[in-house]
Amino acid sequence: MRTLMLKLEPVVWGLFGAGMFVAGLLYPAFLLVATLMQPLGVLAPDALSFERAHALAAHPIGRVVLAAAVAFPLWAGAHHVRHVNIDFGGIGRDAWFGALCYALALVGSVAAVLAVARL
């Protein structure tokens, strides 16, 4: 497993960098507006109503942005968590732990593409 991860390292590293970029550009605004301001009632009540959210998400640009916003940061998360494990003495379990991190990111990425396809 480690050999496979080593072979794919250039790809994963690219996804990891892209993920930090995407997360950095999108997540602070998303967290602030959608998960804090909206529930706390700072916004207009229908700003994130189902109909409006669906219309935004189903727009071609919306689909691309959402798929990217889910998939790339998962790879960044996976790579970071894998390396934290190694830094805390976990190189012995890296073969399965690292693989598990990337498997989660892979499953999430596929699900993200499916999720925007079925909007």
Partner 1 sequence: MNGQGTKTFVVTRFDPDRDEAPRTQEYEVPVREDWKVLDALNYIKDELDPTLSHRWSCRMAVCGSCGMQVNGEPKLTCKTALREYGDRVEVGPLANFPVVRDLVIEMEGFLERLKAVKPWIIQAKEAAVIEGTNRQTPEQLAEFKQYSMCINCMLCYAACPVVANEPDFLGPAALALGHRYNQDSRDDGDSERHEVFRGDGGVFACSFANECSEVCPKNVDPSKAIQQAKLLNVLDWARSFVVPRGGR
Partner 2 sequence: MSLRARVDAMKGSAPPRTRTADPAPPRNFPFRGNYLPYVAFGSCGILLFAVGFGLLRLVWVLGDGDATRWKAIFESYRHPLYIVFHAFALVALTWFTFRFFRLFPKTQPPKLGPLPRPPDAVFLIGLGAAFTVSTLLVGLVLGGALP
Dist CA 103 CA 119 (whole Å): 24
Q: Going residue by residue from 71 to 110, which x/- string records binding to partner 1, judged by CB under 8 A?
A: ------------x--xx-xxx-------------------
Residue 10 interaction partner, one of partner 2, partner 1, none, beta carbon < 5-8 Å per kind: partner 1
Q: Residue written as tokens 């207009």?
A: 44
Dist CA 81 CA 118 (whole Å): 30
* Residues 6 or more apart in contact with residue 46 via CB below 8 angstroms: 52
Dist CA 25 CA 68 (whole Å): 11
Contact between 70 and partner 2 (CB under 8 A)? yes
Q: Which helix (H) or strand (E) holds 72?
A: helix 60-87
Contact between 29 and partner 2 (CB under 8 A)? yes
Give 49's DSSP letter: -
Task: Return residues touching partner 1 (CB under 8 A).
Answer: 2, 6, 9-10, 13-14, 83, 86-87, 89-91
Which residues in this chain contact partner 2 in the complex, by CB under 8 A? 17, 19-21, 23-40, 43-44, 46-48, 50-54, 56-58, 66, 69-71, 73-74, 76-81, 83-84, 87-89, 91, 104, 108, 111-112, 115-116, 118-119
